[in-house]
Amino acid sequence: MLYRKKRPLLVFLLPSLLLMAVFLYYPFVENIVNSLFDIRGLAAARGEFLGLGNYRRFFSEDPVAMTSFFNSLKMMGLTLVFQVGLALMLALMVDSVRKGQQLFRVVYFFPIVISATAIGLMFNLFYKYDGGMLNQLLAKLGMDKVLWLSKESAYTMVVIPTLWQYIGFYFVIILTGLAGIPQEIFESAAIDGATGIKKIWYVTLPLISDVLITCVTLAVTGAIKVFDLPSVIARNGAPNGLTHFLGTYMHNQAFVAQNVDYGSTISVIIVLMGVAVAQLLNRVIARNSEALR
Amino acid sequence: MAMNQSVETIKKPRATVGKVVIYVLLTLWAVTTVFPFAWVVNNSFKHSSLVVNDSFSLATGEVLRYDKDGQVVRERIMQDEYGRDMYDKLLFDADGNPVYEGAQQSPTINRSGAFADLLSGMTVPTDEANAHLQAYDTVNGKVIYDESSPPVRLSPTWDNYVSVFTNRNVNILRGYKNSLIISGSVMVVVALFSAMLAFGITRWKFRGAKVIKSLVVAALMFPAFATIVPVYRMLSDMGLYDKLEGVILVQCAGNLAFACTVMMGFINALPYELEEAAFMEGCGPYGIFFRIILPMCKPALATVAIFTFIWSYNDLFLQMVLLRSNALLPVCAILREISSQYGTDFGMMAASVTVVVVPVLIVYALLQKNIIKGLTAGAVKG
Amino acid sequence: MKKLFALVLTIALLGSFALAEGVTIKTVSTFAGTDAAADTYQQLLDQWAAETGNTVEDASATSDEAWKAGVINDFAAGNEPDILFYFAKTADSARILDRVVPIAEINEAYPDLNLTENAAIAESDGKIYAIPVRAFWEGLFCNVDLFEKYNLELPTDWAKFETAVKTFKENGVVPMAVSFSDVPHYIVEFAILSSGTPEEHKARPAPGETVPESWVEGMKLLHELYEMGAFAADANATTEAITSQMFRDGQAAMQLDGSWFANGIPQERWDKVVVMPFPTHAEDADPTAFIGGVSMGFYLTRSAWEDPAKRDAAVDLLRYLTTGDNAVALGGFAFGGTIITSAVDMINNANDMLSPFQDEMDQEVRADKWFSKVPSIVDGTLTDIDGMWAEVVAANPFGK
C-alpha cells in the first residue's frame, strides 16, 4: 500500500536509467554490432561483415584468448576468497576495536588512491632480476637470484599486487554494511550470550548479506575486467602472453593491435560472462543467507 | 552506553588477548598499505635515476656548504654499482630558491647539417638559427645546459615539485579547479541518482525490476573503449564536446552502475518500520525518500561518493578523449603531460602522484567519517 | 533613442572591424609536455600571433593511442583544427586524407611559398599531405665508459660484438637492454637488417610469396643472442621503462633504439654514449645501413582551406612553422655530445637508409601474428619461424 503509485517510481528511476541508456546501453549496443564487422582503428568506419567470425576465433582459434579466459576465471575465484574474504575479516576486526579505528580506515585506503602506474613501477622494482629489491634481499641472505616473473610464477606475481590493491575497496563497502546494522541487535545478541565468532556467524553475517551480495557482484565484475595494474606490471601479458586477462587482452586488441572489432567481441563476452556468474553467485548466497536467517 | 560497558566487562579476560592479536594483525596489514604511499612520497624527492637504482632508500643525507660566492651549495655524493660517484649539486640564491648553473650560458640544442639533410629541402641550421633558439631560452627561462656546466642533481630534491608547479605550459591550479568541478558534480549527481534508483527498485514491486537489476550489473562491465566512439559523436552533436559538462554527463553514466549496485544492497537491508510509521503519519514517497531514506543512507552515500570521486578524478581516458582545450584539462591529464615522454621521468611521476593524491585523501578523510554505526539505531529510537 | 542606436551601431561596427583584423586559427600538435621543442612551438605560435594580429588556439598533447583516436574523431565529427601536426603514411593518417590539403595544391595556389614536398611520406595515392620538420634515426646506443672499463672495442663487427657480450655477461653487466614483451620493435627490425641485404629488408611480401631469407635468419638470431647471454634474464618479462633506465644509468651496455631515446639520456652522459649501426651477422649485409626517416608532419585541413576568412592566415601559419629557422628549431633534439656526433657519422657514412617496414604493416597482423610471438622465439619455445612468417604474409600485412 505504501509503494503502489507508479508515478513516483518513474521519477525515481528515470534520471539514472536515462543517463545510462544514452551514454552506456546505446553505445554498447553499437559495440555489439561492431563485433560483427571488421574495424581497424578506434575511430574507423565499419568494414566487411564478419558475422560471428570473431566469436569463433575467440573460442576455437585463439590460444591467447583462452589463456586470458581461464586466467580471468581463476581471478574471479581468487578475488572472492582473498579480496572479499580478507576485506571482511579486516572490516570485522576494525569494527571491533575502538582506538585507532579512524587511522586504520584511512591507511587501508592508500593503495586505491595511488595510480596503477606508480604501484606497478614499485612492483617492477621489487621483481627486477638485476638489482631488484627481492633479489637484493636474497643476496643479503646469501641466496641465489630468482627470476620472479618466470613463466611458471608470473601469474601469481601479477595477481598478488592486483588482489592487494583493491582489498581496501571491499573493506570500505563492508564497513558501510556494518554501519547499517542497528546497534540494538548486537546488544540483545550479547545478552543472549552470542559473542565472538558465534555472534559474527549468526548475527552479523546474515544482517550484512545484502552488502555481501553487492561485494560478490562487484568482485566478479571487477575480476573479469581487471586491467590497469597487470598491464603495467606485465606488458602485453608478459612473459609470452601468459598473464593476459580478458580485460588486458581486450585493451591490447583494441589499442595495440587496433583490432577494434575483436576487442568489441571480447567486451561482449566479458559482459555476458560477468552477468552469468554474478547472477549464479547471488542466487547461491541469497539462498544460504535465507537459511541462516 | 551502559549496556556496552557491561557487555565488555563480561568478556574481558578473553577480550584482551583477542584484542592484542587483532591489533597486531591490523597493524601488519597497515604496514603493507602505508609502504607504497611512503615509497611514492619518498621518491618524489629524488632524481629519476635514483628512483630506479635506489628507490628503497630514504631521500636524505645531503651536505650543505657555501661556495666562494657565498651561495649555498648542497652536495650529496652517492656511489653507483660500479663505485663511481654520482655527483649531485644544486645552487641556491640568497632566498633559498634554486639557481641553475648554466642558465646564462648559450643553449646547445645540437643539430647537424648532415642530419637535417635527411629531410629533403630542410634548411641546414645556421648560426642565426642558434641565436634564434637562444632567444627562446632566455625568454622561457628553460634551461638547456651547456656541456661544460656540472650536472644538476640533488637528493633529496624539490626539483620534481618545482617542475610540476612551474612548468610554463601548464597551470596546475587551474587543473585542480577543473578536476573539482568535474569530479564534484559527478559525485553529487551519482550519489543522488543512484539512491533514487535503488529506492525505487527495492521498495516498489513491479515487473521489469529484475531486468533493470541485470542491466545495472551488466553496465558494471562496459569497458570505456567500447562505448567511446558513439559517445564522442553524440557529444559532438549535442555541442558538448570539449566542454566540462560533456565529461560530467559521461562520467555520471559510467559511475551509476557501481553506485546503484551499492545503494541497492544497502537500502534493501534497511528496516521498513520507519517508512511505515511515516506513511501512517501521512508522508508520501518523496517525503520518505528525502526525510528518512537519505539520512539513513549516509554511510552508503559516503561510500558511493568516495569511489565516484576517485574514479572520476583518475579517469584519464575519458578526459583525454572528450576534452581538448588546455584550459579545461583536469589535473591528472596535465600531470600526465609533463611526466611522460621519452619513457618516464620516475621522480617527476612520483611527485605528480603525490600532488594528485592529496585532494583525494582529503575527500576520503572527510567523507569516511560518515560511515559510522548507530545512525539507524538512533533514527529508530527517535 | 537615436543617439543610443547610433552608439550601438558604432560599437558593433568597431567590433566587427576589430574582428576582421584577425582570425582565430586552431592548432593541434604533439609539441607538448616534455617534448624537446614544446616551448619553442608555443613561442613560435605567440610570435606569429603577435606579428599577424591573428589568434591561435592551440590544443597540443603528448601522443598516445587515445590522442591519435581523438584526432581522427575530431575529423569524423567536424571538429578538426586548421593546422595539425600528426603522423604521416600510417593507417591513422590514411583516414583523414580526404579532409586535408595536398601540399602540391597549396603550392599551386601560392606559388611563392614553395613548401617542401617530401616524397618519403607520400601516401598510397602518391600525394604528399604533410610537411615534416623532424627526422628520426635508429641505431645501436653504446655506453662507451662500460666498453672502456672492460677494455672492449666498440662493436663495429660481429666478432667484437660477441666478445663484448660475453665479457659484459661475465662481469654482471647486462649486455643489451631490451624488453621483448613491451617494445620488441627496434631489435626485430635490426636483427633482420643484420641478417641480409638492405634489399631483403625492403621486401614487402604479398600473400602467396615467401619472406626473404633474412627475415627468418633475423628471428633465429634473436634466439642465438639469447643463448649467448646478450639479454637480462627477465628480458621477456620486465618493462621497457625499466630496461631503458638500466641503459641510461650505465647498468646495461647497449640498446637498440631511436633518436627520441637520446632525449632521455642525462646530460652528464652525453659524452659517454655513442650511436652506431648494429653489427652485421650475415656476410652480405651492409655494415653501414641504418634505419630512419620521417614519421610526422604538419597538415593543413580542408575546412581551413575552404574557409575564405581563414585560408590566408592558415597557409601563412603553415609556412611560418615549416620553413627556415623555425622548422629547424622545431626539429631540434635536446641532446648533444658524442651522441650527436656519432649519430651524424652513422648517417654520413651510410650507404643506405631504410624505413622500418613494421610501420607499413597492418597493426593487427603485426601485433597478433608477429610481435606477440617474439618472446617465444627468443627463448626458443617457438622454432617454426617459417610457419610464423607464412601466417603473417597470408594475412596480407602490406596490402591493407
User: What is the mean predicted confidence (pLDDT) over A5-14?
Assistant: 92
Checking if the pLDDT of B68 tops 60, the result is no
φ/ψ (deg, to 5) at C288: -100, -15
> How much is the pLDDT for A243?
94
Helix (H) or strand (E) holding A100: none
User: What is the mean predicted confidence (pLDDT) over C337-361?
Assistant: 86
Checking if the pLDDT of A288 tops 80, the result is no
Q: Grid coordinates in use for B368?
A: 569516511
Helix (H) or strand (E) holding C88: none
* Contact list, A118 vs chain B (CB under 8 Å): 36, 40, 349-350, 353
Q: For domain A48-292, give the CATH number.
A: 1.10.3720.10
Spatial distance between the Cα atoms of B13 and B18, rounded to a whole number of angstroms: 9
φ/ψ (deg, to 5) at B167: -55, 130
Residue A231, classified by CB atoms within 10 Å of its CB into exposed (0-12), middle (13-18) or buried (19+), is: buried
Quick one: pLDDT band at residue B322, thresholds 50, 70, 90?
Answer: confident
CB contact under 8 A, B169 and C333: no
Q: Tell whether A128 lies on the interface with C, counting CB pairs under 8 A.
A: yes
Domain ranges of chain A: 48-292
> How much is the pLDDT for C3?
57
Query: In 3-state terms, what secondary structure has residue B304?
Result: helix
pLDDT tens figures, A85-137: 999 999 999 988 888 888 999 999 999 988 887 888 889 888 989 878 888 88
Spatial distance between the Cα atoms of B164 and B282, rounded to a whole number of angstroms: 58
| CA–CA min distance C386, chain A (Å) | 19
User: What is the mean predicted confidence (pLDDT) over B194-223?
Assistant: 91
Kindly state the DSSP code that residue C121 receives in the 8-state scheme. Answer: G
In 3D space, the residue among A67, A36, A63, A32 whose CA is nearest the CA of residue A49 turns out to be A36
Quick one: pLDDT band at residue C177, thresholds 50, 70, 90?
Answer: very high
* Contact list, A149 vs chain C (CB under 8 Å): 234, 237-238
CA atoms within 13 A on the CB side of C167: 18
Spatial distance between the Cα atoms of A187 and A164, rounded to a whole number of angstroms: 34
Least confident stretch, A21-35, A66-80, C323-337: C323-337
> How much is the pLDDT for A108?
93
> How much is the pLDDT for B57?
61
| Inter-CA distances, B379 with B274, B289, C40, C112, Å | 8, 14, 64, 82
Q: Which residue stretches of C203-263 are H helix? A: 213-228, 240-248, 259-263
Quick one: pLDDT band at residue C24, thresholds 50, 70, 90?
Answer: very high
The beta-carbon neighbor of B36 closest among A111, A211, A254 is A111
Query: In 3-state terms, what secondary structure has residue B76?
Result: strand
CB C14 within 8 A of CB C20: no
CB contact under 8 A, A23 and B234: yes
Q: Tally Cβ neighbours within 10 Å of residue C69.
A: 25
| Inter-CA distances, C366 with A243, A258, B164, C185, C359, Å | 20, 10, 37, 10, 9
Q: Tell whether C76 lies on the interface with B, counting CB pairs under 8 A.
A: yes
Checking if the pLDDT of A286 tops 50, the result is yes
Of residues C299 and B369, the one with the higher pLDDT is: C299
Query: In 3-state terms, what secondary structure has residue A205?
Result: helix
* Nearest-10 Cα torsion for C355, C358, C363, C366: 180
CB contact under 8 A, B197 and A225: no
Provide the β-strand partners of residue C252. Answer: C174
* Contact list, B317 vs chain C (CB under 8 Å): 66
* Contact list, C181 vs chain A (CB under 8 Å): 234-240
Interface of A with B in 105-164 (CB under 8 A): 105-115, 117-119, 121-122, 125, 131, 133, 164
User: What is the mean predicted confidence (pLDDT) over A56-83?
Assistant: 94
CB contact under 8 A, A238 and C182: yes
Spatial distance between the Cα atoms of B230 and C365, rounded to a whole number of angstroms: 26
For chain A, the farthest-separated pair of C-alpha atoms sits apart, in whole angstroms, at: 75
Checking if the pLDDT of C389 tops 90, the result is yes
Quick one: pLDDT band at residue A54, thresholds 50, 70, 90?
Answer: very high
Spatial distance between the Cα atoms of C277 and C156, rounded to a whole number of angstroms: 8
Q: Tell whether C358 lies on the interface with A, counting CB pairs under 8 A.
A: no
Helix (H) or strand (E) holding C156: none
> All domains of chain C, ordered by start, with CATH?
24-135+294-330 (3.40.190.10), 137-291+335-394 (3.40.190.10)
User: What is the mean predicted confidence (pLDDT) over B171-193?
Assistant: 93
φ/ψ (deg, to 5) at C298: -85, 135
CB C32 within 8 A of CB B338: no
pTM: 0.83
The beta-carbon neighbor of C32 closest among B112, B115, B169 is B169
> How much is the pLDDT for B137?
33
CB contact under 8 A, B341 and C347: no
Checking if the pLDDT of B155 tops 60, the result is no
C partners (3+ CB pairs within 8 A) are A, B
| CA–CA min distance B24, chain C (Å) | 35
| CA–CA min distance B223, chain A (Å) | 7
* Contact list, A233 vs chain C (CB under 8 Å): 239
> How much is the pLDDT for B52?
64
> How much is the pLDDT for C5?
57
Spatial distance between the Cα atoms of C203 and C369, rounded to a whole number of angstroms: 18
> How much is the pLDDT for B97?
42
CB contact under 8 A, B353 and A17: no
φ/ψ (deg, to 5) at B97: -85, 145
CB contact under 8 A, A240 and C236: yes
CB contact under 8 A, B206 and A271: no
pLDDT tens figures, B269-282: 888 888 888 888 88
* Contact list, B120 vs chain C (CB under 8 Å): 116, 118-120
* Contact list, B164 vs chain C (CB under 8 Å): none
Q: What percent of chain C has pLDDT over 70?
A: 93
User: What is the mean predicted confidence (pLDDT) over B167-177?
Assistant: 79
Kindly provide the ipTM of the predicted complex, given to two decimals: 0.87
Least confident stretch, B155-159, B309-313, C127-131: B155-159
| Inter-CA distances, A214 with B258, B260, B262, Å | 9, 10, 6
B119, closest residue in chain C (CA to CA) = C135
Angle in degrees, 0-180, between the axes of helices C308-322 and C38-52, rounded to the nearest 10 = 130
Spatial distance between the Cα atoms of C220 and B67, rounded to a whole number of angstroms: 58
CB contact under 8 A, A275 and B265: no
Q: Are strands C174-176 and C273-276 parallel, antiparallel or unpaired?
A: unpaired
Checking if the pLDDT of B242 tops 80, the result is yes
Of residues C52 and B334, the one with the higher pLDDT is: C52
Round the average pLDDT of chain B to a whole number and report it. Answer: 71
User: What is the mean predicted confidence (pLDDT) over B15-21?
Assistant: 82
CB A176 within 8 A of CB B300: yes
Spatial distance between the Cα atoms of A244 and A250, rounded to a whole number of angstroms: 9
Is cis: bond before C308, omega within 30 of 0? Answer: no
> How much is the pLDDT for B161?
84
Q: Which residue stretches of A108-244 are H helix? A: 110-113, 116-127, 133-140, 154-165, 167-179, 183-191, 196-199, 205-207, 209-224, 228-233
Least confident stretch, A69-83, A156-170, B128-142, B229-243: B128-142
Spatial distance between the Cα atoms of A125 and C302, rounded to a whole number of angstroms: 49
> How much is the pLDDT for C34?
65
Provide the β-strand partners of residue C140. Answer: C256, C276
Q: Tell whether A173 lies on the interface with B, counting CB pairs under 8 A.
A: yes
Checking if the pLDDT of C44 tops 80, the result is yes
* Contact list, C376 vs chain A (CB under 8 Å): 240
In 3D space, the residue among A19, C94, A263, A61 whose CA is nearest the CA of residue B256 turns out to be A19
* Contact list, C362 vs chain A (CB under 8 Å): 40
In 3D space, the residue among A226, A224, A204 whose CA is nearest the CA of residue A272 turns out to be A224
CB B152 within 8 A of CB C345: no
CB contact under 8 A, A239 and C181: yes
Checking if the pLDDT of B307 tops 60, the result is yes
Checking if the pLDDT of B123 tops 70, the result is no
CB contact under 8 A, B227 and A112: no
> How much is the pLDDT for B236?
86
> How much is the pLDDT for A1?
58
Quick one: pLDDT band at residue B88, thresholds 50, 70, 90?
Answer: very low
Spatial distance between the Cα atoms of B39 and B37, rounded to a whole number of angstroms: 5
Spatial distance between the Cα atoms of C157 and A49, rounded to a whole number of angstroms: 51
Q: Which residues of B91-102 are buried (b: 16+ CB within 10 A; e: fewer)?
A: beeeeeebeebb
Checking if the pLDDT of C373 tops 80, the result is yes
Kindly state the DSSP code that residue C323 receives in the 8-state scheme. Answer: S
| CA–CA min distance A21, chain C (Å) | 22
pLDDT tens figures, C252-297: 999 999 988 887 787 778 888 999 999 999 999 999 999 988 888 9
φ/ψ (deg, to 5) at B268: -60, -35
Q: Tally Cβ neighbours within 10 Å of residue A199.
A: 18
| CA–CA min distance A8, chain B (Å) | 7
Checking if the pLDDT of B153 tops 50, the result is no
Least confident stretch, A165-169, B28-32, B230-234, C45-49: B230-234
Q: Tell whether A256 lies on the interface with C, counting CB pairs under 8 A.
A: yes
User: What is the mean predicted confidence (pLDDT) over B304-328?
Assistant: 87
Q: Grid coordinates in use for A160?
A: 598478488
> How much is the pLDDT for C394?
94
Quick one: pLDDT band at residue B54, thresholds 50, 70, 90?
Answer: low
Quick one: pLDDT band at residue A292, thresholds 50, 70, 90?
Answer: low
Quick one: pLDDT band at residue B48, thresholds 50, 70, 90?
Answer: low
Q: Tell whether A127 lies on the interface with C, counting CB pairs under 8 A.
A: yes
Checking if the pLDDT of B60 tops 60, the result is no
Query: In 3-state terms, what secondary structure has residue B218?
Result: helix
Q: Tell whether C84 lies on the interface with B, counting CB pairs under 8 A.
A: no
Interface of B with C in 164-183 (CB under 8 A): 168-169
Interface of A with B in 43-102 (CB under 8 A): 43, 90, 93-97, 100, 102
A partners (3+ CB pairs within 8 A) are B, C
Q: Which residue stretches of A21-114 are H helix? A: 26-34, 53-56, 63-78, 85-96, 101-107, 110-113
Checking if the pLDDT of C14 tops 80, the result is no
Of residues C22 and A143, the one with the higher pLDDT is: A143
Residue with cell 535465507: A290
Spatial distance between the Cα atoms of C67 and B324, rounded to a whole number of angstroms: 9
Quick one: pLDDT band at residue B2, thresholds 50, 70, 90?
Answer: very low
Checking if the pLDDT of C122 tops 80, the result is yes
